[in-house]
Structure 1
């Protein structure tokens, strides 16, 4: 695969993953509205279900290799840092930030992750980012900020603890973006995503077990839960880790800014959301920034 095709494919995977997260967020909103479910319960459920599904797929593909990652003690620090410092922490601290502030604030803080990734690459790998890449990252973050707040800074409610939780969620994005790379190359994205989801699900169950159901279960609730677990978690994270194998973590983290874009577009027919001129400008800024950043990496 030539460089241009690899970068295009990786960027596409990241964009689709972001869209799936956006759809998952909308279904989560519908679930909370119609059933008043607990956010921590849906987190435990989506991670556990996604982990079981992906591990099952990995076993069907290669039964003999399903436990290979556990055969070397050298893998353990990387595996557990990826699972609990990355996959679990991004879910947990994101919801903590929402509880302490609001979803707009939490989302914006989480999208500080590209800055942390640039700093990591600069400090630990001596990779100086291209000036153009820095500009495109800043523009994408500005677009996300304008899209979520509609330019109204007063919507942001930040306490010190909310700020800390949001920044920890951003750090968790950096961890699951960079840490599992050696394991991905050796054991495959499907296997590592499966173990990541499953073990993070086990951790989530300590805080809020899946059997603690406090809402009425019917067909629609099951549909919401399965969509969130399969589309917005299992498939989205699988595409994301595949993207990390093809392109830089910086491009992936910016390309997934399609998450809030998808949420906005889907909210128009479902919730009667009306786009303002500023929202349209923000959407254009994000889309153009992602495209230009991808092309900058190909240069």
Structure 2
């Protein structure tokens, strides 16, 4: 494969992965609102099944590294458990809760505030300097978020307060996810780390939600297909394709193209679920996306926050 074909293949991978993430959020909203599926149940099932599939996939693609090797290293064992609960489960639950109380479009954009939280952490730790570029990014993030949540009115909110609360927490969790995952991913590989983190997070929340009775007798084949899409495309393939694209593109390119996720969430939520989205909200969305691109280009200021998330 020529270098040009590799780049094209990388573009297709990252766009597909980010698109699957965004559409998966909208499909999850449908399952919450139309099928009565609870957040805890969906998150636990999603993480457990997608995690198992990723571990199986990793065993085929990386056969030389034993599946349980990471558990023989004490430090790695502690790190992957921490990452699975605070990182993977933290991101997944808060994101889905925000969707449940609001909609996929707003939840995805609030999660995309993660670069600002990463920047704040790096500044407090004195790992980067607060300069004009960084201040501009924060102003863009705050302005875009204000327009997104209020649709230009000081007296009303476009989504519920609970959706905003969980959405902001999702951005904080994604910031932790991004900052914490680096050494683990580098040493053990993305498929194994993400797969085990999903299994850990799914087991942790599943212990509370899966034992509870849940009636699926009224589900149609369409409901099952939507659930399968969330698990396979919106989770496993979304992560895999996005991470695989790093073999063909640099991190900056994948971060920029990852902005397809909120666009996919917005388009599908508006066209399919008929979610109202005002002009001020669209303008706020544009500002937030510009902020993400702005920080992604400024690699020296802050690492990309959407390396592997939703």
Unaligned runs of 5+ in 2: 1-8, 302-310
In structure 2, the residue matched to 1:58 is: 58
CA pair 241-204 structure 1, distance change in 2 beyond 3 A? farther
TM-score normalized with structure 2 length: 0.74
In structure 1, runs of 5+ residues without a counterpart are: 1-8
Alignment of 1:62-211 (within 5 A): 62-65=62-65, 66-95=67-96, 102-103=102-103, 110-124=111-125, 126-140=127-141, 142-152=143-153, 154-155=156-157, 157-158=160-161, 163=165, 168-209=169-210
Q: Residue 217 and residue 105 in structure 1: after superposition, are their counterparts in 2 closer, same or farther (change >3 A)?
A: closer
Hey, what's the Cα distance between the residues in 1 that align with 2:63 and 2:56? 9
Q: 1:240 to 1:205 in 2, by over 3 A?
A: same
Partner residue in 2 for 1:4:
none
Provide the rounded CA distance (Å) in 1 between the counterparts of 2:137 and 2:279: 21
How far off its partner does 1:61 sit? Answer: 1.4
Secondary structure of 1:74's aligned partner = helix
Residue matched to 1:269: 271
- Specify the SS of the correspondent of 2:74: coil
Residues 144 and 287 (structure 1), Cα distance of their counterparts in 2 relative to 1, 3 Å cut = same
CA distance in structure 1 between the aligned counterparts of 2:139 and 2:91, rounded to whole angstroms: 22
The TM-score normalised by the length of structure 1 is: 0.77
Partner of 1:32: 32
Residues 231/35 of structure 1: CA separation in 2 closer, same or farther (3 Å cut): same
CA RMSD of aligned residues (A): 3.8
Q: What is the CA distance between 1:212 and its match in structure 2?
A: 4.2
1:15-37 CA-to-partner distances (Å, cap 9, x unmatched) read 76554332112111222343222
Q: Distance in 1 between matches of 2:140 and 2:125?
A: 25
More displaced 10-residue stretch of structure 1: 194-203 or 140-149 = 140-149
CA deviation after TM superposition for structure 1 residue 268, in Å:
3.4
Contact 1:41 1:210 in 2 (8 A): no
Mean alpha-carbon deviation: is it higher for 287-296 or for 33-42? Answer: 287-296
Name the stretch that deviates more: 202-211 or 179-188: 202-211
Please give the alpha-carbon distance, in whole angstroms, between the structure 1 residues aligned to 2:238 and 2:226: 16
Could you tell me which residue of structure 2 aligns to residue 288 of structure 1? 290
Residue deviations 1:154-213 (CA, integer Å, cap 9, x gap) = 225547x984x5554333212211112111111111111111111111112112118843
Change (3 A) 1:39 1:221: same
Structure 2: how far apart are the matches of 1:255 and 1:136? 18
Structure with higher helix content:
1
**C-alpha distance in 1, partners of 2:45/2:39?**
10
1:20-68, Cα deviation, whole Å (9 max, x unpaired): 3321121112223432222221111111111011011001112341222
Alpha-carbon spacing, 1:48–1:219, altered in 2? closer, same or farther (3 Å) = same
Question: Is the partner of 1:271 in helix, strand or coil?
Answer: coil
The structure 1 residue matched to 2:223, chosen from 221, 237, 258, is 221
Q: How many residues were matched structurally?
A: 286
Q: Tell me: CA distance 1:57–1:285, structure 2 relative to 1, closer, same or farther (3 Å).
A: same
Q: CA deviation at 1:91?
A: 2.5
Task: Name the residue aligned to 1:47.
Answer: 47
**Worse-superposed segment, 79-88 or 11-20:** 11-20
